[in-house]
Chain A
């Protein structure tokens, strides 16, 4: 049994930088590297790609990340745990094996399956958000249950170098190796709570090293252009020290840790995961050396009987257009432009929105009422079931060049399909996970 375990987190979302993970793997002396790459909607979009191509549906950056990381992972005997499998973990694993073979590397990948429960929903289930039946939202495209450590642990028991999952709860990606290496019992909810706290602190990678924190006036962070991602040493009693590779940018302080601990937590006393209902209220941070903090406390109680399932549905199309005005009467001209568009096409959309970027697009009119910016960017967005209607927004904005107020410049237009996501709860007995091991 190990006394101490080191896990690094090299990605906190699907589009995250690749270089911090390379640095962590090269210099971090890691036992495990975790890459968390799957936001709520990412998997629904991936399901749509898989429908068009059965070999697609895993993370679009998987190939680039694996090509860069694989030699380092094998050289340093670091195991990788990642949810880059997204909607198609098996195809993702085949891709990884393919890359290993091309590089002449011996490799085993354990794939965690079973999160896809699309064939187990009827459409009559009520959503957690609006208590409406799922089918009333639109054409359903995906349903993925959040799996927990019980799905990942069998994969860790193999000698696979890489554990590839689809949808699992983010903290479980970290808690599973803690249980496996430190010989924790999954029914020790105190430890499950502590481990979940640590996983939650790490899962957004750069968000604990100064990313999404920095403010050059009130919260300056050094060298953000080379922001390091974190690693954590976990001890068998559930305490931990979070740090980063020296020489990388960013900083880890009690303040960055507090912000990340509370990030996206609806109720700090009851943080639901498939593994535990964790209590964050007793967590304590103390600064040690520079860029090093100690985490203590945290607890938990028995895990919920249900698993959360994210359900994706087709929610129509959003059309957007933008145009800028500057100098005298910029706001008045932007408002005239908005009025013109609204009169021409405003009534064709289910939802229609006018924003004045630079004035009130982020926090509304109240907080900006005394502000007079030199330049202003008009943005109009409309939502509709019909793609060609959506395109109309951008076309009408562009037509303002010659038909609208004076001095409009820099028009841009965008149209994209919207996949909405709502959630349901599913009895965990209806969700069966399994693993499959592939070898190069």
Chain B
């Protein structure tokens, strides 16, 4: 079954120039692995294809149990000169939370019950110190 991100996570939007920064934080820390698996850079790129013109980097933060998406060329011409009503993109956290994810077999909830840390088999999740590098290089 599919569900919207807003049902299991919250988000805050921030801006730096023309860069949009979106956090994604599960209400229950046990849902962190599900977010890591389901909310990939590719999915976020597709979801924001009309908003984000540049690269998107995903930072995985296992200590905090949160994801951070840094989206470049995302705020038309940038906060100070944009014609957009919401020039800062402050409302875009809720655009991310509209994304639908698939939790069809409940596998990840099962993993989470037995192991609250990162699933060892999930090679896409780097450790805390290198959280950004492998992700950003790949994408």
Complex contact B128–A218 (CB within 8 A): no
A267 touches B95 (CB 8 A): no
Please state if A281 and B80 are interface contacts (CB–CB under 8 Å). Answer: no
**B119 contacts the other chain (Cβ, under 8 Å)?**
no
User: Hey, which bits of chain A sit against chain B, CB under 8 A?
Assistant: 40-41, 128-129, 212-213, 215, 218-219, 255, 258-270, 281-285, 297, 315, 318, 351-353, 355, 357, 361-367, 379, 381-383, 418-423
A419 and B12 in contact, given A261-B64, A269-B59, A357-B85 (Cβ under 8 angstroms): no
How far apart are B129's CB and chain A's nearest CB, in angstroms?
A: 7
User: Residues of B contacting A418 with CB < 8 Å?
Assistant: 80-81
Tell me, yes or no, whether B66 is within 8 Å of chain A by CB: yes
- The interface bits of chain B over 92-111 (1 if a CB of A lies within 8 angstroms of the residue's CB, else 0) are 10110010000000000000
B116 is an interface residue with CB less than 8 A from chain A? no
Considering the chains assembled together, what is the distance between the CA atoms of A177 and B27 in angstroms? 35
* Residue of B27, B85, B98, B129 contacting most chain A CB atoms (<10 Å): B85
In the bound assembly, the distance between CA atoms of A321 and B77 in angstroms comes to 20
Instruction: Note all chain B residues with C-beta closer than 8 A to A258.
Output: 23, 25, 64, 66
* A-B contacts besides A218-B6, A363-B91, A381-B83, 15 pairs, CB < 8 Å: A40-B79, A213-B10, A255-B10, A255-B27, A258-B25, A258-B66, A263-B14, A264-B14, A281-B129, A315-B80, A362-B86, A363-B51, A383-B83, A419-B80, A420-B81
Q: In which size bucket is the chain B interface?
A: 35 or more
**B19 surroundings in chain A (CB, below 8 A):** 266
Q: Which residues from chain A contact B80 at a C-beta distance below 8 Å?
A: 40-41, 315, 418-421
Contact of A266 among B21, B90, B129 (CB under 8 A): B21
- Asked if A366 and B23 make an inter-chain contact with CB atoms under 8 angstroms apart, the answer reads no
Instruction: Please name the residue on chain B nearest to A422 by beta carbon.
Output: B17
Interface-central residue, A218, A255, A315, by most chain B CB under 10 Å: A218
Across the interface, do A265 and B63 meet the contact criterion of CB distance under 8 Å? Answer: no
A262 CB contact (under 8 Å) in B27, B66, B81: B66
| CB 8 Å contact bits of B24-60 with A (1 = contact, 0 = none) | 0101000000000000000000000011000001010
Quick check: A263 and B12 within 8 Å, CB to CB?
yes
B17: which A residues are within 8 A, CB to CB?
A: 128-129, 421-423
Residue numbers of B with Cβ under 8 A of A are: 6, 10-12, 14-19, 21, 23, 25, 27, 50-51, 57, 59, 61, 63-64, 66, 68, 70, 77-81, 83-86, 90-92, 94-95, 98, 128-129, 131-132
Interface pairs (23), CB distance under 8 Å: A40-B79, A40-B80, A129-B18, A129-B78, A213-B12, A218-B27, A260-B12, A262-B14, A262-B23, A266-B70, A267-B70, A269-B132, A284-B63, A285-B64, A353-B83, A353-B84, A363-B92, A366-B50, A367-B95, A381-B83, A419-B80, A420-B80, A421-B80
Check if B132 sits within 8 Å of A264, measured CB to CB.
no
Q: Assess the A264–B59 pair: CB atoms within 8 A.
A: no
Residue ID in chain A nearest B59 by CB atoms: A268
Given A255-B10, A269-B129, also A283-B86 (CB < 8 A): no
Say which residue of A212, A267, A363 sits within 8 Å of B12 (CB atoms). Answer: A212
Q: Is the CB of B91 within 8 A of A362?
A: yes
Cβ of B79: which chain A residues have Cβ within 8 Å of it? 40-41
Given contacts A259-B10, A268-B132, A364-B51, contact A315 B64 (CB under 8 A): no
Contact present for A267 and B16 (CB under 8 Å): no
User: Shortest beta-carbon distance, A41 to chain B, in Å?
Assistant: 5
Nearest chain-A residue to B91 (Cβ)? A362
- Return the contact of B23 from the options A263, A362, A379 (Cβ within 8 A): A263
Contact B61 A281 (CB under 8 A): yes
The smallest beta-carbon distance between A423 and chain B, in angstroms, is: 7
Min CB–CB distance B76 → chain A (angstroms): 8
- B131–A269 CB distance below 8 A: yes
A267 to B79, CA, bound (A): 19
With contact pairs A263-B14, A269-B129, A363-B91 given, residues A283 and B64 touching in the complex (Cβ less than 8 Å): yes
From B89, which residue of chain A is reached at the shortest CB distance?
A362
List residues of chain A with CB within 8 A of the CB of B95. Answer: 362-363, 367
How distant is A15 from chain B, measured CB to nearest CB, in Å? 14
- For residue A320, give the distance in angstroms from its CB to the closest CB of chain B: 8
Chain B residue with the shortest CB-CB distance to A285: B64
Residues of B within 8 A of A383 (CB): 81, 83
Which 6 interchain pairs have the tightest Cβ spacing? A264-B14, A262-B23, A353-B83, A259-B12, A363-B95, A381-B83
Name the A residues within 8 Å of B85 (CB-CB): 355, 357, 361-362, 379, 381
With A and B bound together, what is the CA distance between A213 and B17 in angstroms?
22
Q: Is B68 a contact partner of A265 (Cβ separation < 8 A)?
A: yes
Minimal Cβ-Cβ distance residue in B for A423: B17
Minimum CB–CB distance from A323 to chain B (whole Å) comes to 14
Residue of A nearest to B7 (CB): A218
Residues on B with C-beta less than 8 A from A264 are 14-16, 21
Smallest CB gap from B136: residue in A:
A267
